[in-house]
Structure 1
Amino acid sequence: MSDEKAEKNTSPEGTGLESGEGTTLPDKEVDSADTRTDDDRQAVDVAHATGVGRWAELSPVDSEPVKIGERRGMFGATRGQDTSGYGGLVTPTLLPGASARPYGSYFDEVADILGRALGESVGYDDAVEKVVVDRGEMTLFVAREHLVAVARVLRDHPDLRFELCMGVSGVHYPGEPGRELHAVYPLLSITHGSRRLRLEVTCPDDDAHVPSVVEVWPGNDWHEREVWDMFGIEFDGHPALTRILMPDDWPGHPQRKDYPLGGIPVEYKGGVVPPPDERRAYS
């Protein structure tokens, strides 16, 4: 082989094929107009202006499951005449930690649209504490002071249109300091093919206040009354926050985990079932 042919075959400019197949593509620094694959410039500019385009890296602490308590024993075996060993089991009760982008499905689109819309007022990072994607469902943990603003954007933005709030549920986690009470709002968008989303707001036991969303979703009127009745979360701005299940003079909130079982005897066909806290305990 002549020196000229050898130099041609080893040249970094190509492989020697006339078709150009196998030619090395340029790096981004020397990218040309023909090979560049930038996104739409307007969309990129908006994303960077609102901060949505910059996906924050989650720390290992953010991604770790949240421990809200623990369960001891199994099958009722805790101590005493336990020969199975189950009484020594300690099982933590865990909630999923924050999820990292990309979330998958339509969740990234929802987060981006919400971020751009909130960027004009409160700001996405200030309103949304974290996003949890678990078992195919997306939950936005929202700061309670921005709940109404987020709800209004989710309802009114033409690319979101979560017209229906299916109610609100209360949850009590005594083992989560400063966030013992949770209010959970499942949302549904009929306009966009039954997309589903969940909002979650937390508040401490000693300041159990959450803004009412009745002005955004009027159907939540009696749902908020029920959560107040059962869990003691006060929905500020509710038109008539009164008990809905228990008598007006009932002490406490029965579905909190620190509420005593109590109860009244139940009679049937001459028999009596005592209340839970008076039933026989098996050792």
Structure 2
Amino acid sequence: MSNTPAPEAAADTSPSAEPAPTLHGHPLTDSFGQPVVHVARSSYIALIKQLANDGYVMAVDLCGVDYLTHPGRTLPEGIAPERFEVVVNLLDIEHRRRLRVRVQIPADDATCPTLFDLHPGTEAMEREAYDMFGISFDNHPDPTRILMPEDWDGHPLRKDYEVGVIPVQFSADYVQNAPRAEETSAWQ
């Protein structure tokens, strides 16, 4: 073993190098066998409409991701990493296909267009992304919290969220001094 880094592979600049794959003009990558399309926030709704025409008519999941502690993640060329990301999983039931859509969301403008008009089932998922990460969805019909109380400060799944101290009901002292089954006649 050596502490010297391995030499980096030279980029293939020959004319025979294939261009990176795209889907409707957006970079297409692969993650563990699942195709992933990366789209700019400004093109998000237009792409979702095109994908619906391609058969991707069911949104099975939508979530937020906070990459505060992973700013150097790998993204396709032309996609700038932002702190937040909205991830949508779509299904084409007829052809048994799944597609993931990733949208970069900047921390200083954590908003994204809503999918509610195209996929009404995303209403609760977008509310959860707002509640947990603070990502708002433009023109959402009910932009309120879904899990936390309305007066809750902050968004608990953000990496910089201050974790408070919550008293634990059962401490190690309680467990050590708890009555044992054999010591209680009611349990026999």
The answer as to 2:109 corresponding to 1:207 is yes
The answer as to 2:118 corresponding to 1:216 is yes
User: Unpaired runs of 5+ in structure 2?
Assistant: 1-9, 12-17, 72-79, 176-188
* Distance of 2:164 and 2:60 partners within structure 1: 31
| Structure 2 match to 1:195 | 97
Alignment partner of 2:144 out of 234, 239, 242: 242
The answer as to 2:38 corresponding to 1:144 is no
* Structure having greater relative contact order (Cα 8 Å, sep ≥ 6): 2
Measured after TM superposition, the shift of residue 266 of structure 1 is: 2.4
Question: Per the alignment, in what secondary structure is the counterpart of residue 169 of structure 2?
Answer: strand
| Structure 1 match to 2:132 | 230
Question: Per the alignment, in what secondary structure is the counterpart of residue 133 of structure 1?
Answer: strand
Measured after TM superposition, the shift of residue 268 of structure 1 is: 3.6
* Distance of 1:214 and 1:198 partners within structure 2: 17
* Distance of 1:141 and 1:236 partners within structure 2: 20
Equivalence map 1:22-171=2 (5 Å): 60=11, 111=23, 115=24, 124=25, 128=26, 130-155=27-52, 157=53, 160-171=54-65
- Superimposed CA distance per residue, residues 75-125 of structure 1 (whole angstroms, 9 cap, x where no aligned partner): xxxxxxxxxxxxxxxxxxxxxxxxx6576xxxx8xx3xxx3xxxxxxxx2x
The answer as to whether partners of 1:167 and 1:219 remain within 8 angstroms in 2 is no
* Distance of 1:244 and 1:152 partners within structure 2: 27
* Distance of 1:138 and 1:220 partners within structure 2: 21
User: Unpaired runs of 5+ in structure 1?
Assistant: 1-58, 61-99, 116-123, 273-283
Question: Per the alignment, in what secondary structure is the counterpart of residue 257 of structure 1?
Answer: coil
| Structure 2 match to 1:95 | none
**Counterpart AA for 1:161:** G
Please tell me whether Structure 1 or Structure 2 has the larger radius of gyration of its CA atoms: 1
- Percent same amino acid among aligned pairs? 39
Q: Which has the higher helix share?
A: 1
Q: Do the aligned partners of residues 161 and 263 (structure 1) sit closer, same or farther apart at CA in structure 2, a change above 3 Å counting?
A: farther
Question: Per the alignment, in what secondary structure is the counterpart of residue 246 of structure 1?
Answer: coil
The answer as to whether partners of 1:178 and 1:205 remain within 8 angstroms in 2 is no
Q: CA RMSD in A?
A: 2.4
* Distance of 1:102 and 1:200 partners within structure 2: 17
Alignment partner of 1:255 out of 153, 157, 180: 157
Report the TM-score when normalising by structure 2.
0.72
Q: Do the aligned partners of residues 133 and 101 (structure 1) sit closer, same or farther apart at CA in structure 2, a change above 3 Å counting?
A: farther
The answer as to 2:98 corresponding to 1:186 is no
| Structure 2 match to 1:120 | none
User: Any runs of at least 4 consecutive aligned residues in structure 1 with deviations exceeding 2 A, and if so which?
Assistant: 100-103, 175-178, 268-272
